[in-house]
Amino acid sequence: MALVIPKESYSGKIYNVTLGTGAKAVTIGGASALPYLAFEGTFPNKPAVALEVTDIAPDDWPETVKKAVSGAASNPVQWAKFCQQNGADAVALRLIGTHPDQQNKSAEEAAKIAAEVAAAIDIPLIILGSGHVEKDTQVLQAAAAATRGKNCTIGKAVEENYKTIAAAVMANDHKLIAMSQLDVNLAKQLNILLSQMGFDKERIIMDPMSSALGYGLEYTYSVMERIRQAALLQNDPMMQTPVVCDIGANVWKVKETMAADAEVPEWGSLEDRALAWEAVTASAMITAGADMLIMRHPGAAAKTKELIAELMG
Amino acid sequence: MALSGVEIFKHLPKTNCKKCGHPTCLAFAMKLAAKQASLDACPDASEDAKKILGESAAPPIRGITLGLGDKAVKVGEEICLFRHDKKFFNPNVFAVAIKASEAGDAAAKKIDAVKNSEIDRVGQKLRVDAIAVTDEGGDAAKFASVVKQVVDGAPGVPIILVSKDPATIEAGIAHCADKRPLIYAATAENAEAMAKIAKEKKASLAIAADGLDALTALSEKVKGLGVDDLVLDSGARKVKDMIEHYTIIRRAAIKKNFKPLGYPIIAFAGRDNSVSETMAAAIGTMKYASIIILNNVEKWKMLALLSLRQNIYTDPQVPMQVAQNVYKVGDAKDSSPLMITTNFSLSYFIVRGEVENSKVPAWLAVMDNEGLSVLTAWAAGKFTAGKIAAFITESGVEKNIKHKELIIPGYVAILSGALEEKLPGWKITVGPREANGLPSFLKGRA
Ligand code: SF4
């Protein structure tokens, strides 16, 4: 019996989305088959790996990752340059200092930092709010205006605040991250809402809500697999936006990336364990179809880029 | 392909003798078609019927068991390509390679690592499942001595014998013939000799070929030699090839019922760099490898891989649950706040994570609501004032705290009045609706 390779016939394709400007601009998306099945589709762009920086000193990051970005982390501009030098495809600036429970920095202050970071690097910039639904609308509006012309990726717009953020992104010609909570239908719904307000769906990047290895990773994994199947096999245009996974923020708050060797001897060395935690989480998201990852540890990001290179063949 | 009841009926004796416990042969055939009965129940079924029906009833990917006793592991018998379609059933095996050249101390260290690898994760005990003794140079005596060292040093741990030389396999299997080992591997060159050993020793046999066409041909050849328990190696070592080959194998088996590839897959994830090895093994875990061979099994690596395997093999239809309990988060004291949530594992992980973020030590009461989230459990009448009160009273948490204040999720603020009635003397405080409001809420109180 000869083997006939069982191929899927795909009717859909992921949109190409270009981030940033100039020679270091990055295009993501474009896949025409389920992840890495090159025998039945094409993958014109490799997933991008962004490294995260924060507007204020990352006091709540665990030691292992703080050490890995040491020296640079006290100043977001320095830190962003450090990420660029360390091979990041993009920098993700998280304006955590604007959160009312943090330093409650003003939208103007945040926008100024965003503009400085954007000016200091030539790789694409992702600008993330603090996750505070109301505050993010002001902060991201100001940041979008201050970085006009840089083709930044701005988010995260959620169901409660997408209108203002999307409008600012549209007015200043950026790209938008739209986040929903671990549900295929909610992800689609948000893309539909955005389209209904006239936002170009080919400027959206979907965030299905990430999770860390060991802490609900399988939910994100399966939601992403289903999103990709809907996009490619059912040709659902509302699911054909590239996907970003914001994993660093999830990985670097679980016990496995913090507990000292002596505390849990059966878990082995903290340094290795913590790096592996982010690297394996990244591997899972890549396997499920992520087009972009936001990571924290430069070492884990470098290993992820190696994996991506091997997958692209 | 599965046969219908009527097709099965054609092959039964049609005597309606009722020995199978069913009134008629047709009724029994219907049960067989629905996979609610086994042909063994009919004592009069002909050999032909057994063969035909056995094959049609066989799972698309054959189940293979390695080892014997309580450490035996079963792989295969998967029925879907995506875990959300149903679930992945038999978790992949992680095995550590011990090279013949590591005989003695180096081997002893790895054997110890396997013996001490057990970790407890969300109520499951997980460990390195098997040991692969690996020949590199054809020194049969040395190979056999390592097999013996493993059998003696790690009793009961399933063994994989890795050599392409039949004489070396013979020498090694002499020490573990009665322990249901896996032989790796039969190739186009040595198939007859390897098949003979596998049959004699009742071992399962991996077959190794370069590419899927060669693998298909070899599979048919070895099956023709009388070996049923096969494991497949297509030669994929790069992650790109692993994903492509394994997807084709799994699709061919499940969607086309293509028998030559209807067996579990063995992957060699070994790399010089240990993080790369971990990532390659992770790809194997997600993408259909049933047996994954590692060069080293450092504790951190196994923690990551076993956690990933547990995530991927979790039943997606059953919400994952956390055991009902009052959990201590951080260094909680008798004055620390007490909060309650449901036992949907995602709720628990997120709430716990945010409490940890807040750096405010606390007690987290997790109530068994059959794995439902707070709102769903409340809507289903499983998170009511009466049930919460009973849980708090019976939990014995009052022994750990000196206050009587319970913080409830903001979504069920409506319960606070009724709860104060059911828990006399308690103060009920309404917390934030979403877990991400917890850090400021807790810090604001501290
Ligand atoms: S035991 Fe066999 S022959 Fe008898 S009724 Fe059942 S199926 Fe028919």
pLDDT (average), residues B128-137: 95
Look at residue A30 and tell me if it is in a domain.
Answer: no
Q: Which of A179, A218, A303 should we substitute to test contact with B (largest number of B Cβ atoms within 10 Å)?
A: A218
pLDDT for the residue B286: 98
What's the start-to-end Cα distance of chain B, in Å?
Answer: 65
In this complex, which of B258, B282, B350 lies closest to A283 when CB atoms are compared?
B282
Contacts of B316 in chain A (CB under 8 A): 218, 222
Please state whether beta strands B204-208 and B130-134 pair in parallel, antiparallel, or not at all (unpaired): unpaired
Dihedral over alpha carbons B196, B199, B201, B203 (to 10 degrees): 110
Is A250 among the domain residues?
A: yes
B28 in contact with ligand 1, CB cutoff 6 A: yes
Ligand 1 atom closest to the Cα of residue B18 is 5
- Mean predicted lDDT score pLDDT of chain B: 92
Query: What average pLDDT score do residues A266-274 get?
Result: 96
Residue A93: strand pairing partners: A53, A127
A175-179: strand order across its sheet: A204-207, A175-179, A153-157, A125-128, A90-94, A48-54, A292-295, A244-246
Yes or no, beta carbons of B276 and A273 under 8 Å apart: no
Cβ atoms of B160 and B130 within 8 Å: the answer is yes
- Of the candidates B153, B122, B148, B130, the one whose C-alpha atom is nearest the C-alpha of residue B71 is B130
Query: What integer is the mean pLDDT of B250-273?
Result: 96
Q: CB of B22 closer than 6 A to ligand 1?
A: yes
DSSP B160: E
Confidence of residue B57 (pLDDT cuts 50, 70, 90): low
Q: Is the CB of B12 under 6 A from ligand 1?
A: yes
CB contact under 8 A, A214 and B307: yes
Boundaries of domain holding A295: 45-312
Q: Is A20 helix (H, G, I), strand (E, B) or coil?
A: coil
Q: Give B282→chain A minimum CA distance, Å.
A: 7
Average pLDDT over residues A20-31: 98
Structure tokens at A302: 């470098």
Looking at the CA of residue B15, tell me the nearest atom of ligand 1. 3
Contact by Cβ (8 Å): B13, B46:
yes
Q: Which two tokens stand for residue A312?
A: 């692209």
Asked if pLDDT for residue B1 goes beyond 60, the answer is no
* pLDDT at residue B323 in the model: 85
Chain B positions touching A305 (Cβ under 8 A) are none
Each residue of B82-98: pLDDT tens digit? 999 999 999 999 999 99
Q: Report the distance separating Cα B387 and Cα B399, nearest Å.
A: 20
For residue A275, pLDDT over 90 is answered with: yes
Domain assignment present for residue A2? The answer is no
Percent of chain A with pLDDT over 90: 92
| Residue B2 confidence (pLDDT) | 64
Tokens at B417, concatenated = 């009045």
Residue nearest (by alpha carbon) to ligand 1 atom 4: B17
Nearest by CB to residue B279, choosing from A211, A225, A280, is: A280
Q: What's B135's DSSP letter?
A: -
Q: Where are the alpha helices (DSSP H) in B58-120?
A: 105-115
Structure tokens at B296: 């080293």
Dump pLDDT digits (tens) for A113-157: 999 999 999 999 999 999 999 999 999 999 999 999 999 999 999
Looking at the partner chain, which of A3, A219, A280 has a beta carbon nearest the beta carbon of B346? A219
Residue B58 pLDDT > 80, yes or no?
Answer: no
Q: Locate the DSSP E strands across B88-221.
A: 93-99, 119-121, 124-126, 130-134, 159-162, 182-186, 204-208
Average pLDDT over residues A236-252: 97
Residue A31 lies in a domain: no
Q: How far is CA A193 from CA A241, B289, B389, in A?
A: 14, 40, 42
Write the CATH number for A189. Answer: 3.20.20.20
| Residues B118 and B156 sit within 8 Å (Cβ to Cβ) | no
Which ligand 1 atom sits closest to the C-alpha of B21? 6
pTM: 0.87
Q: Is the CB of B63 under 6 A from ligand 1?
A: no
Q: What's the pLDDT at B103?
A: 92
Q: Which of B276, B305, B302, B303 is nearest to B289 (CA)?
A: B305
Q: Do A256 and B303 touch (CB under 8 A)?
A: yes
What are the start-end ranges of the H helices in B174-238?
191-201, 212-224
Region B435-439: what's the mean pLDDT?
Answer: 85
pLDDT (tens digit per residue) in B107-122: 999 999 999 999 988 7
**pLDDT, chain A, mean:** 96
Q: Give a yes or no: residue A7 inside a domain.
A: no
Domain count, chain A: 1
Best probe residue, ligand 1, of B8, B18, B40 (max atoms within 8 Å of C-beta): B18
Residue A196 contacts by C-beta under 8 Å, 6 or more apart in sequence? none
Element spanning B102, H or E: none
Residue of A298, A275, A289, A271 lying closest to A49 (CA atoms): A298
| Res A263 pLDDT > 60 | yes
**Among A224, A246, A262, which residue's Cα sits nearest to residue A295?**
A246
Locate B221 and state its tokens: 């050849």
Angle at which helix A133-146 crosses helix A107-120, to 10 degrees, equals: 40
- 3-state secondary structure at position B65: strand
Report whether pLDDT(B364) > 60: yes
Task: Evaluate whether B100 touches B143 at the Cβ level (below 8 Å).
Answer: yes
For the CA of B23, the closest atom of ligand 1 is: 5
On whether the CB atoms of residues B208 and B163 are closer than 8 A, the answer is no
pLDDT digit string (tens) for B203-242?
Answer: 999 999 999 999 999 999 999 999 999 999 999 999 999 9
Cβ contact, residue pair A3, B305, below 8 Å: no
Give Cβ neighbours of residue A13 (< 8 Å, ≥ 6 apart).
A30, A31, A32, A231, A232, A240
Residues in chain A closer than 8 A to B123 (CB atoms): none
Task: Report the residue of chain B nearest A229, measured CA to CA.
Answer: B82
- Buried b / exposed e over B290-301, threshold 16 CB at 10 Å, is bbbbbbebbbbb
CB atoms within 10 A of CB A41: 18
End-to-end Cα spacing for chain A: 30
A280 touches B304 (CB < 8 A): yes
Which tokens belong to B422?
């059911």
Provide the β-strand partners of residue B325.
Answer: B366
B14, B15, B53, best to mutate for ligand 1 pocket (most atoms within 8 Å of CB): B15
**Nearest alpha carbon to residue A82 among A111, A54, A103:** A54
pLDDT at position B376 is 83
pLDDT in tens, A281-309: 999 999 999 999 999 999 999 999 999 99
Check CB contact under 8 Å for A6 and B255.
Answer: yes
- Chain B interface, mutation test: which of A46, A272, A306, most B Cβ atoms within 10 Å? A272
pLDDT category at B39 given cuts 50, 70, 90 is confident
B121: phi then psi, degrees, rounded to nearest 5: -135, 115
**How far apart are the CA of A49 and the nearest CA of chain B, in angstroms?**
16
pLDDT of residue B372: 83
Nearest CA in chain A to B86: A222
Query: What's the CA gap between A200 and A98, in Å, rounded?
Result: 28
Candidate of B10, B12, B26 to mutate for ligand 1, largest count of ligand atoms within 8 Å of Cβ = B12
B128 within 8 A of B113, measured Cβ to Cβ: yes
Q: What is the pLDDT of residues A180-218, one digit of tens each?
A: 988 899 999 999 999 999 999 999 999 999 999 998 899
Question: Which residues have CB under 8 Å from B248's CB, separation 6+?
Answer: A3, A5, A6, A39, B212, B261
- Domain assignment of residue A107, yes or no: yes
**B390-414 pLDDT, tens per residue?**
999 999 999 999 999 999 999 899 9
Mean pLDDT confidence for B303-332: 90
Is residue B54 predicted with pLDDT exceeding 90? no
